[in-house]
Amino acid sequence: MTQFMGTIFCLFLASIVHAGDLRVDGRLIAKVEDNGEVRSSGKLVGKFENDGDVRANGRLEGKIEQDGSIRKGGRLLLKVSSTGEVRENGKLVGKIENDGDVRRDGRLVARGAGIDRRRLAVLMFTDMIPWR
């Protein structure tokens, strides 16, 4: 019976947090759709293309490379490792956990349920997409 109740509780939690949600202090701040569109308060603010391009207001703002590098104008901004560490100029600026928790200096600053780590790093550690 305990395992059954645990399963029901997990299904309940999964129904609360929608895939692609970015939450800060429990509030829904932005949503990343399946097609890569980023919406804040229902308004389209950016788009992640399949080839790694990051667009805001139709303009190319940067690129996400296959190795986890995030570039703007050809210049390396961030590097996201396979373990979720986010580095800027070699210095650790944050960590993205497997469950989507974003941490800065060990503090939980946001939750990005269902969002890819590299896309979440673009949203949280750069100003390419103006969702704030």
What are the domain boundaries of the chain? 20-125
Are the C-beta atoms of 5 and 13 separated by less than 8 Å? Answer: no
The answer to pTM > 0.85 is no
Residues linked to residue 54 through DSSP beta bridges, in sequence order:
48, 62
Question: For each successive 10 residues of the chain (132 residues), what is the average pLDDT?
Answer: 45 44 91 92 93 93 95 94 94 93 92 92 92 72
- What is the reported pLDDT for 80? 96
- What is the reported pLDDT for 7? 41
- What is the reported pLDDT for 18? 40
Neighbours of 82 (CB within 10 A): 8
Distance in angstroms (rounded) separating the CA atoms of residues 69 and 118: 8
Dihedral sign (CA 59, 62, 63, 68): negative
